[in-house]
Amino acid sequence: MFGMEDEGLFEQLFKMLQSSGPVNWNLAREVTKSLAGQPQPIDPTVAEEYRELAHVAEVRISAVTQLPSPEPGELNPTDRATWAAENQQSFRILVEPLGEKLSGLTNIDGMPDLGDMGAMLAPLGPALIGMQAGTMVGFMAHRALGQFDTGIPAMDHDRPYVIVPNLDDFAIDHGIDHRQIRLWGALHEVAFHRIMAVEWVRGRFVELITAFYDTVEIDTSDLMGKLTGMADPMELQRMLGESEDATGLIQASADADRLADVQAFTAFIEGYADRVVRMAGSELLPNIDRIEAAYNLRRTEPDKTEQFLQQFAGLKLDRARAADGETFCDEVAERWGDDALNRVWEAPENMPTLSELTDPIGWNARVLLDETSL
């Protein structure tokens, strides 16, 4: 299929495709670095302001929630590139299962005979997932306001972050005082940090994501067709260099009930955090209504990270449902008191289902019926 003059190209492609696991993290890092840009050190004065605001946030949040404060973790005000580098594998739970499904790509029935290219295709699955993992974190670095704004528990660490240039842009875009946005961001990050410190929260997310990916079915027919038609190794290199083109070659579907479980989890976590931030910050943030409206609108806007997960894995996080989560928390507390709402944190089974987010009475009947009256 290819001549000897292609030997150099084969060698380059072979090196690029090498991976020791289901995800080519070396490739992911290179993609992330190219998207996140160069490190831009944060002004020490601004960094110190954020840390002081985080201490204020700790005190204010302690007054409105019974969630225990974890071991104090210094808030990390950071730039996009540094956040991306330190969170490269923080969201691996979202991509590694896909890599495992694609790692046996060359063993799929009907796989075309690609001759000399066959040696490179065994690691093609990890390379594709690595490229998408890098793209995902690279896009997150430009959009997320902090760890809280990913809506996803980090797997590698529990360090609190705010991404300073993104919060600055958020303030400018909506014409809101920077000092208020900084306090609001610190409140959100501290609230999220406390939620993540609940001993079963991360484990529960892993369980739900694992159950979801167990039902994922991947259609690689478009990819197989693309590979069959390749007559030049440069075509494979170009395909790997165009993340959107590569993503479009693989389609996924999954069980709707398992997806609903994941959506309920993220909606409640974000909704509860929204409630805590409002309660803790309303007296200090004159523009909190404007800030919340802007943030909720932002959750409804197209997001490349979510688009990738939906197309490549069938995983639609639907972060706009956080509004349902906050309303649920407000109604439960109003009807049955804060102690009733705090029952959620006693066990993962007490979390509301997706339907219960808009039916707190149904949640009461399932979780609190023996202790409260309707």
Mean pLDDT, the chain, whole residue set: 85
Rounded Cα–Cα distance for residues 251 and 64 (Å): 44
Domain boundaries of the chain, sorted by first residue: 23-367
Q: Identify the pLDDT of residue 110.
A: 47
Give Cβ neighbours of residue 27 (< 8 Å, ≥ 6 apart).
16, 19, 127, 130, 131, 134
147 neighbors 197 (Cβ within 8 angstroms): no
Q: Which tokens sit at 329?
A: 């928390």
| DSSP 8-state code for residue 217 | E
236 burial (CB, 10 Å; 0-12 / 13-18 / 19+) is buried
The pTM of the full predicted model, rounded to 2 decimals, is 0.88
Q: Identify the pLDDT of residue 7.
A: 45
pLDDT means over runs of 10, the chain (374 residues): 42 58 88 95 98 96 90 88 95 88 57 51 76 91 96 87 98 97 98 95 96 86 65 61 57 88 98 98 97 96 83 86 98 97 97 98 91 50
Phi, psi of 45 (to 5 degrees): -65, -40
Q: Identify the pLDDT of residue 129.
A: 85
Torsion angle, alpha carbons of 90, 250, 209, 369, to 10: 140
How far CA 146 is from CA of 66, 154, 161, in Å, comes to 23, 12, 5
